Amino acid sequence: MSIKFFRIVQCAFWRMGSVTDDEVIRKRLLIDGDGAGDDRRINVLMKSFTKWCHSNFSPEEGFSQYQRMLTSLAQCEFSMGKTLLVYDMNLKEMENYEAIYADIERSITSAHEKIAECKKEIQRAKRIRKNRQEYDALARVIKQHPDRHETLKQLEALDRELQQLSHIKENVEDKLELRKKQFHVLLTTIQELQQTLENDEKMESDDTQESSMENGD
């Protein structure tokens, strides 16, 4: 029965000029679902219709046969409607999956970008950490040295002390010079006085010698 149906489909496709009849046949042979039931129903319908047309039934039998054919036709229509709905559903599912696929692609690329950004951030953070550590190391060394202000103050105090001491030194030197000069003056006066006294003595002794020589004459 199904083979006959496939031959009908094949003829239809030949008329349409499609090349994939083998594919269609293979697929239909594989899908062993409702296809067999529908085929049988359609064939039974055709047979009973021709029988109904050609035979002489009594009106009640004819009517009941007619009702049976209508039910079978309704069943065929129902199954066709179901298949159409399933087909629509498949199409919609495909669209849905396409959308999800595109979404996932986008999130992958954005994750890649975020990873690259984070890597750059890490490099920056490492550089910053290195700079901070170098700064800390230098700061430790600098802290070991005394404060600049204090050192400056110490320097100033030392400067002032130095100046004071040099003042004192100048004063002392001046005094020394003055005393030296005074002593010099004193000593020269004494020496001159000594000279004058010696001269006087000498002159006196000369005088007495002259007077005694005059008296002796």
Which residues contact another protein (rule: CB under 8 A)? 123, 126-127, 129-130, 133-134, 136-138, 140-141
Smallest gap from Cβ 116 to another protein, in A, equals: 13
To which residue do tokens 């600049």 refer? 148
CA 100 to chain centre: 30
Smallest gap from Cβ 131 to another protein, in A, equals: 9
Smallest gap from Cβ 149 to another protein, in A, equals: 20
Residue whose CB is less far from another protein, 108 or 137 = 137
Instruction: Give the span between the Cα atoms of 76 and 57, in whole angstroms.
Output: 25
Angstrom CA distances, 146 to 121, 131, 142, stand at: 39, 24, 8
Angstrom CA distances, 45 to 144, 182, 216, stand at: 109, 164, 213
Task: Report whether 9 contacts 29 (CB < 8 A).
Answer: no
Residue whose CB is less far from another protein, 142 or 213 = 142
Smallest gap from Cβ 151 to another protein, in A, equals: 17
Which residues does 1 contact at the CB level (< 8 Å), separation at least 6? Answer: 36, 39, 40, 43
Residue whose CB is less far from another protein, 127 or 184 = 127
Residue whose CB is less far from another protein, 141 or 213 = 141
Smallest gap from Cβ 139 to another protein, in A, equals: 9
